[in-house]
Amino acid sequence: MIEVKTREEIELMRESALIVSKTLGMLAKEVKPGITTLRLDALAEQFIRDHGAIPGFLGLYDFPNTLCMSPNAQVVHGIPNDKPLEEGDIISIDCGAIKNDFYGDHAYTFEVGEVAPAVKRLLEVTKESLYIGIREFKLGNRVGDVGYAIQQHCEKHGHGVVRELVGHGLGKKMHEDPEMPNYGKRGRGKKFVEGMVVAIEPMINMGTHRIKQLRDGWTILTADLKPSAHFEHDVALLDGRPELLSTFQYIYEALGIVSDEEDEFRRQPLIVE
């Protein structure tokens, strides 16, 4: 059953989402060759608690850490460890936080130093597909419209769309209805309704869409060990249109990137303090 949210609840969810956005912005300054994912995890946990929130992943389904840290061929659900990041790596960081009982949940794939052009392109295409998908999250559309749009864009560029892991409704539970696959058919699946909040999160592989899981019971990696990218936003359906609750602007601020990619999904300008 889809749990629709009131305007007041959506404003609370925006708070939760922004705590995650700020956490990723803080991490953007720290992601560089030599730092370990465990160190980044400790920084994120402290940052979230300092902002009056609770790490959303820690202990959820028994996950051991605050961040899912998935470098290179890891798709999602990687566990932080003491291996330093290296020049040319990519690292997908997925972060959750709970504030006022509501979850924020979003993810960004960072470049560590200078990354190979083909890998850079994978990140660009995956992030483009996120916004192409978000654009379809509007009244009158269905779950399949979002998945179709994401899949078309990524496959056009020769990339594989992971099937086994999907986006989801978001609220007082981390995973609510509906499931939001990154593949699908136009006009199929559940109908979008006013007040829905979803996490849209393409997980896109450079090569095959097939995945495997490590013996740790968590880490998902590509079957061909080629790189994988993951970008995730929290989005509300308000006045029939998608509105972003999360933002990458704190990351861009940290990295000196100027981007207007989120403008069409926001009714008022975001002030990054």
Provide the binding-site residues for Mg ion, judged by CB under 5 A.
94, 105, 107, 199, 232
Cα 13-246-74 angle, rounded to 5 deg: 115
DSSP string, 149-211: HHHHHHHHTTPEEPSS--EEE-SSSSSEEEEE-SS--TT-SPBP-TT-EEEE--EEESS-S-E
Cβ closest to Mg ion, residue 206 vs residue 235: 235
CA neighbor of 130 nearest in space, from 201, 234, 236: 201
Residue 271 beta carbon to Mg ion: minimum distance, rounded to whole angstroms: 25
CA neighbor of 146 nearest in space, from 105, 191, 108, 107: 191
Cβ closest to Mg ion, residue 45 vs residue 224: 45
Rounded Cα–Cα distance for residues 86 and 155 (Å):
29
* Residue 54: φ, ψ to 5°: -115, 135
Residue 158 beta carbon to Mg ion: minimum distance, rounded to whole angstroms: 25
Residue 115 beta carbon to Mg ion: minimum distance, rounded to whole angstroms: 22
Residue 56 beta carbon to Mg ion: minimum distance, rounded to whole angstroms: 9
Cβ closest to Mg ion, residue 106 vs residue 153: 106
Cβ closest to Mg ion, residue 119 vs residue 198: 198
Cα 16-220-127 angle, rounded to 5 deg: 55
Cβ closest to Mg ion, residue 89 vs residue 105: 105
Cβ closest to Mg ion, residue 112 vs residue 199: 199
Residue 199 beta carbon to Mg ion: minimum distance, rounded to whole angstroms: 4
Cα 148-182-89 angle, rounded to 5 deg: 130
Q: How many CB atoms lie within 10 A of CB 232?
A: 23
Residue 105 beta carbon to Mg ion: minimum distance, rounded to whole angstroms: 4
